[in-house]
Amino acid sequence: MRYSDIKLVEKRKHKTGPAGQAKAKSTMPKAKPGRTEHPLQGKLVGESTIFEDARIQHAEDIIFWEGSKGAVRAIESLKSIETGKHGDVTIKWDGSPAVIFGRDENGAFVFTDKSGFTAKGYDGKARSADDLETMLGNRPGANNPDPKKQQGYRLLINNMKAAWTAFELATPKDYKGFFKGDMLYFDTPKIEDGRYHFTPNIVTYDVKADSPIGQRITQSTVGIVIHREVDAAGTEGPLQSGDIFQGNAVLVLPPVVTQEPPQINDEHIKELQAIVSKSAGPIDALLSNQTLTDLKLKKLPDLFYAYLNSKVDTGLTELGSDFLPFVNNKKAVSEVGKRKVADYCQQNKAGYDAMWRVVSGIMRVKDDIINQLEQQEADIKASIGPKGPAASDTHGAGGEGYVMAHPGGDIKLVPRHTFSKANRSVQR
């Protein structure tokens, strides 16, 4: 996969403390449902503009929760990429593990993983490197009977402990609050053929060593992509203070945007628009939140989503044709529930069939866009291959995809037939 040139967003002006450190707000705002600002405005880090909903939806999935209006939003967003909105599209980084770090109300530095931060029954907010080592070492993974898995977990513990100092020094002493992100590397990556290589999870990234981001990697010891800010209770909010970090040891990856617009197939767009225009009523009747609530079928959109994910394994074709057999095999759905789902889908067959036609059509347009973006010349390449844990039949060029900023909620463009399949193949 070939990504576009890096565009570093200008840092916001911020107040400084007595030692010239960045001075952040004393409190973290609670996460609120709402709408995002325009993409990248005032942002330095992250894979895209971060909006208040914790889950960024696949372009093709929006219809499940937003009905015909969601389908229109997805279609118009994909079309807009061709007409200047490609600059709103950023790499979706595939990092691991997820970590949370920052300073509590007393200024004490905390560095832990997401499980530790919200742990019940023990204090997982480690306030020293030794505390972190002890906390992680008390988990079952540290004593896994499989020597290989135990060795891997021990490596993780050592990496987390070693990263402590770098993150503590990078976080201003007068900052109050926490950041949530995914690790990209724990040691400065190795250079091969003039490119840095690192595989944080499934995707392997290759970065030109002499590129702007490559030069920043050279100066760093750890790399991370930050997504959200978090308060002491674990409530997530949008990223607001991502430009405060000190020194070069911790590389907080900036947004990497697409440089050139893809060409959109107008016929495919027109076909989708015609389906939605003709079938908006039946689609919205099928997905009516009020109706589903009254019939105790409120989880039906979640079932559609789970079914679509399952099709990653069997092939993303003839969507909807085997949804009912999928539901019938779900142990979590009662026999009464299975009959109600079947009856409801049959009663709303026009909307049901139209919905899956829209989903399939959006996926076709989305996959074409991804293929074009991946062929662009740039400083960063991504691939799924033998350096990662994914099954061999999922190897090939390409990464986790992209995120497009949108005022109604960011949209992710993920190649389900490659990345999602690879992700589902990993034994965790």
List pLDDT tens digits, range 6-50. 333 333 333 333 333 333 333 333 333 333 333 333 333 333 322
Report if residue 143 sits inside a domain: yes
Q: For 374-408, how does the pLDDT look when each residue is reduced to its tens digit (9 = 90+)?
A: 888 778 889 888 877 887 777 887 888 999 888 88
Report if residue 29 sits inside a domain: no
d(CA 264, CA 80): 9
- Number of separate domains in the chain: 2
The answer to whether residues 371 and 267 belong to one domain is yes
Report if residue 308 sits inside a domain: yes
The answer to whether residues 246 and 162 belong to one domain is yes
pLDDT along the chain (428 residues), means of 10: 37 34 34 35 31 69 97 96 85 92 96 92 93 93 87 93 97 95 96 95 94 95 92 85 91 82 94 98 98 96 96 91 96 95 98 98 96 85 84 81 86 90 76
Where a domain ends, among 252, 283, 302? 252
Identify the DSSP state of 188. Answer: P
Report if residue 128 sits inside a domain: yes
The answer to whether residues 153 and 245 belong to one domain is yes
User: What token pair was written down for 352?
Assistant: 């049901």
Strand arrangement of the beta sheet that strand 57-58 belongs to: 57-58, 411-413, 402-404, 89-91
**314 C-beta neighbours (distance < 10 Å), count:** 10
pTM for the model stands at 0.77
Report if residue 75 sits inside a domain: yes
Report if residue 55 sits inside a domain: no
The answer to whether residues 224 and 349 belong to one domain is no
Report if residue 108 sits inside a domain: yes
Where a domain ends, among 195, 228, 252? 252
Where a domain ends, among 252, 269, 298? 252
* Among the listed residues 122, 101, 120, the one whose alpha carbon sits nearest the alpha carbon of residue 110: 101
The answer to whether residues 224 and 271 belong to one domain is no
Q: What is the DSSP string of 382-403?
A: EEESTTSSS-GGG-EE--S-EE
The answer to whether residues 320 and 353 belong to one domain is yes
Report if residue 325 sits inside a domain: yes
- Per the structure, the complete domain to which residue 168 belongs is given by 98-252
